[in-house]
Amino acid sequence: MNIQWYPGHMAKTKREIKENLKLVDVVIELLDARIPLSSRNPDLDEIIAGKEKVVLLNKADLANDAITRQWIEYYKEIGIEAMAIDSISGKGLNKIYAICKEAAREKIERIEKKGIIGRPLRAMVTGIPNVGKSSFINKIGGKSTARTGDKPGVTRSKQWIKVNKDFELQDTPGVLWPKFDDNKVAQRLAFTRAIKDEILDIEELAYFFVKYIQETNPSILKDRYNVDLDMEDPYETMINIGRKRGCVVSGGGVDTIRVSNLILDEFRTGKLGRISLETPEVINDLGE
């Protein structure tokens, strides 16, 4: 399953991020806590070179807590402040200003030595599509300042959001990178809907998701659907789930499109449980 997706507006977004860096003190990079490596844009490090960065592991409510803590420790070890948040419930958002201020401490001190006191801390919010940036902006801003939607590509223009008199955020549209060199990364992005379902073969995507879960934690599927798993053929497992859930058509056959959407939706909404698809060990597997 070869997946590539890079709409033209994303190249424009990258240029705008680079141009606007001079306006901010720190960059906030939102990652999906379920796939912290795959949801990290490798182009961003080059674009923001020299600018302090804070990593927020969003959608932490959908990820395995223990594995999320491993990722936070990993970032700590490489000198980057990181924390878990949930932009829907607001968990962790009250600590964002403090962590950003600490990351930008040296720049703030330089500014204050010039006699500039009381200027708001300015942060740029970046991330891939559907990582939850708009929900984050809305929640921390205290009102619907940015459009949201459970699909990539909702945010189309940069916005400034005043959190309070001491803290301002610049929103940016979600942006991917031109080519996925590792198909595992592309699949994980598709599993979490960072890549539009509309351009994918949803049955094939669900097949690879079921295959991955069967290989790593088969009890997730068995406990949720109460079906026999075909460890040799994930497609048969999908068929069994479809029958169990009533995804049938006239004549008794299984509606494979319907069951594919059901499985992926239940993963994306947390009904399959709190699942992390990557641990820090995967960095070595993907050649980082």
Has 135 been labeled as part of a binding site? yes
| Residue 101, marked binder | no
**Mean pLDDT within 7-29:** 83
Q: Is 132 annotated as contributing to ligand binding?
A: yes
Helices (H), 78-164: 96-103, 105-113, 133-141
Residue 9 scores a pLDDT above 70: no
Give residue 7's pLDDT.
55
Binding site annotation covers 134? yes
Tell me: is residue 150 an annotated ligand-binding position: no
Q: Is 230 annotated as a binding residue?
A: no
pLDDT (0 to 100) of residue 149: 44
pLDDT at 279 over 80: yes
CATH code of domain 201-285:
1.10.1580.10
Please, what is the average pLDDT of the chain? 87
In the predicted structure, residue 221 carries a pLDDT above the cut 90: yes
229 versus 175: the higher-pLDDT residue is 229
Neighbours of 50 (CB within 10 A): 5
Residues pairing with 31 in the sheet: 57
Percentage of the chain surpassing pLDDT 90? 63
| Helix (H) or strand (E) segment spanning residue 238 | helix 234-244
**Rounded to whole angstroms, how far apart are CA atoms 204 and 198?**
13
Closest CA to 153 of 188, 179, 171, 128: 128
User: Does residue 156 have a pLDDT over 50?
Assistant: no
Question: Is 130 assigned a ligand-binding role in the annotation?
Answer: yes
What residue segments make up the domains of the chain, in order of their start? 8-171, 201-285
Question: Would you say 206 is a known binding-site residue?
Answer: no
Q: Is 174 annotated as a binding residue?
A: yes
Q: What's the CATH class of domain 8-171?
A: alpha beta
Lowest-confidence region among 27-41, 117-131, 205-219: 117-131
pLDDT mean over 59-78 = 96
Local structure of 231: helix, strand or coil: coil
Q: What is the pLDDT of residue 1?
A: 60
Task: Decide if 8-171 and 201-285 have a common fold.
Answer: no
Confidence of residue 158 (pLDDT cuts 50, 70, 90): low
